């Protein structure tokens, strides 16, 4: 069975894709976007992840023409604000995953699966990048809180100001009650705001990966992010910062809409109140999955294409984006490949730090 992946190999390996007898993988398939449909007859399915890339739409249509399986997959939790307000999405004139033209969709969480099942055959899986350790981390002997964010936690000034205000109020509660804490923030703008407004020194714990860092903390406060699932799995109390008006499919044992509400529930949060933690455990179960990406792709690659309606506007917009693009997409594939190669060597990171 032959699977064509649009994006690079490492991307899918990070999601948990493994080699398996009988499965043959071809990566970087986006460079074939201008091949005629007969070229793809040797493949059993097409897999893609970057929703806004027009070549993924074009390749999906070519596989549909051959009545072969098409599969779209996510790499983390779905967030409505990211889908609607992220300028890297909105600039293309689309809303993330609305609609989905592929016949199958791999997403994180059964609530998300239920939501998207209204328009596409959806399946729950948990990428290994979200949970790399199967053994639960031992809780530390002391109560200590980690405050962190998603990689991109705001998409405009309104969201930035709302997040700053809520984080500041939350941290002031911890300081007032003499609670040990540290932050884990990579966003320099947000970090600078906290440093200038807190008037105390605090630790920014960014030396190790998240699960290694988590060993020192009993509770975690975060913006909506896949790391909430990681922390819940390891039996930490997890509080989600609520600072947007858009729906939240991701939930945890504690929600923090204001400093006042957080202060009222601080004892419950710090002591990992059993009743609330039990609720959180039940929420976690909606994100755990029996099958990984490899097993799901193998099963779905034998399925036949399903004809869909109400997707023409998205297809038209994607084709318009391709026509208006300043890149030739074969060239863009090589640019992405070079970027990933430099990134792995740390060159890009050093350049970005120098520019800052």
350 pLDDT band, cuts 50/70/90, is very low
199 pLDDT band, cuts 50/70/90, is confident
3-class DSSP string for 277-341: HHHHHHHHHCCCCCCCHHHHHHHHCCCCCCCCCCCHHHHHHHHHHHHHCCCCHHHHHHHHHHHHH
Task: Evaluate whether 185 touches 194 at the Cβ level (below 8 Å).
Answer: yes
Note the pLDDT of residue 317: 59
92: number of Cβ within 10 Å: 19
φ, ψ for residue 304, nearest 5 deg: -100, 160
Residues 219-236: what's their mean pLDDT? Answer: 97
What are the DSSP E strand ranges found in the chain?
2-5, 24-26, 45-48, 69-73, 104-107, 121-124, 144-148, 180-184, 219-222, 237-241, 254-256
Q: Are residues 164 and 80 part of one domain?
A: no
Q: Among all chains, which residue has been given the structure tokens 């997409």?
A: 329
Note the pLDDT of residue 37: 86
Note the pLDDT of residue 354: 40
Average pLDDT, the chain: 90
At residue 356, does pLDDT exceed 70?
A: no
Q: What is the count of structural domains for the chain?
A: 2
Note the pLDDT of residue 303: 78
Q: Are residues 317 and 231 part of one domain?
A: no
At residue 210, does pLDDT exceed 60?
A: yes
Element (H, E) at 257: none
Note the pLDDT of residue 200: 92
The answer to the question of residue 275 being in a domain is yes
Do you find a cis peptide bond into 99, omega within 30 degrees of 0?
A: yes
Note the pLDDT of residue 6: 97
The answer to the question of residue 63 being in a domain is yes
Q: Are residues 281 and 296 part of one domain?
A: no
Least confident of 185-199, 264-278, 304-318: 304-318
Q: Are residues 6 and 111 part of one domain?
A: yes
Q: Which domain holds residue 237?
A: 144-285
Q: Are residues 300 and 280 part of one domain?
A: no
This prediction has a pTM of 0.85
Residues 87-100: what's their mean pLDDT? Answer: 94
Total residues found in the chain within this entry: 356
Note the pLDDT of residue 316: 64
Note the pLDDT of residue 222: 98
**Cα separation of 228 and 171, whole Å?**
18
Note the pLDDT of residue 306: 60
The answer to the question of residue 166 being in a domain is yes
Residues 45-62: what's their mean pLDDT? Answer: 95
Angle (CA) 276-281-285 rounded to 5° is: 150
Separation in Å, CA 57 to CA 61, 139, 300: 6, 46, 19
């Amino acid at each position: 069975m032959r699977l064509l992946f649009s994006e690079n190999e490492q991307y899918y390996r990070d999601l948990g894709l493994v080699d398996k007898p009988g499965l043959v993988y071809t990566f970087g398939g986006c460079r074939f976007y201008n091949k005629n449909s007969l070229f793809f007859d040797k493949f059993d399915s097409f897999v893609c992840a970057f929703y806004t890339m027009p070549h993924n739409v074009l390749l999906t249509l070519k596989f549909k023409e051959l009545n072969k399986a098409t599969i779209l997959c996510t790499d983390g939790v779905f967030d409505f604000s990211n889908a609607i307000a992220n300028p890297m999405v909105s600039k293309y004139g689309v809303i993330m995953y609305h609609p989905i033209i592929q016949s199958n969709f791999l997403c994180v969480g059964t609530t998300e699966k239920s939501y998207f099942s209204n328009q596409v055959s959806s399946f729950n899986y948990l990428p290994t990048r979200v949970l790399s350790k199967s053994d639960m981390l031992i809780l530390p002997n002391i109560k200590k809180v980690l405050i962190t964010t998603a990689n991109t936690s705001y998409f405009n000034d309104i969201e930035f100001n709302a997040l700053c205000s809520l984080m500041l109020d939350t941290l002031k509660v911890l300081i007032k009650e003499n609670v040990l804490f540290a932050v884990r923030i990579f966003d320099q703008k947000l970090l600078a705001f906290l440093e200038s407004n807190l008037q105390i020194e605090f630790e920014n714990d960014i030396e190790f990966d998240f699960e290694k860092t988590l060993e020192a903390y009993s509770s975690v406060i975060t913006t909506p992010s896949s790391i909430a699932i990681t922390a819940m799995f390891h039996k930490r109390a997890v509080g989600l910062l609520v600072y947007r008006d858009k729906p939240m499919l991701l939930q945890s044992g504690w929600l923090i809409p204001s400093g006042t509400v957080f202060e009222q529930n601080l004892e419950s949060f710090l002591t990992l109140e059993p009743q609330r933690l039990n609720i959180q455990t039940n929420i976690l179960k909606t994100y755990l999955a029996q099958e990984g990406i490899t097993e799901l792709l193998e099963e779905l690659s034998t399925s036949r294409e399903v004809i869909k309606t109400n997707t023409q506007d998205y297809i038209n917009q994607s084709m318009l984006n391709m026509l208006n693009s300043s890149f030739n997409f074969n060239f863009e594939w090589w640019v992405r490949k070079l970027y990933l190669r430099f990134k792995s060597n740390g060159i890009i990171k050093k350049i970005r730090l120098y520019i800052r």
